[in-house]
Structure 1
Amino acid sequence: MAELTTLIGPDDVTDLKQDEQVTAETVALRKVQGALAKPAVVKTAHAMSLFGEHAAGWLAIGAVGALADRKRRGEWVTAAAGVAAAHAASIAVKRVVRRPRPKDPEIQVLVGTPSQLSFPSSHATSTTAAAVLYGGLTGKKLTPALVPPMMVSRLVLGVHYPSDVVAGSVLGGAVALVTRRFMRRRRNRA
Structure 2
Amino acid sequence: MKLAKFLPFAYASMLAMPVLAQSVATEVQRDVNQQKRIEAGLQTGVLTTREAARLEKEEARISRTEANALSDGKLNSQERRRIARMENRASRDISAQAHDDQAGNTNSVSSQRMQADVARNIHQQERIEAGIKDGSLTNREVGRLERGESRIDGREAAAGRDGHVGVREQARIQRNENRESNHIHRQRHDRQQRG
Fold shared, TM-score > 0.5 on shorter chain: no
Flag the structure with more relative contact order, 1 or 2, with Cα contacts below 8 A and sequence separation at least 6.
Answer: 2
What is the TM-score when the length of structure 2 is the normalising length?
Answer: 0.32
What is the TM-score of this pair, normalised by structure 1? 0.32
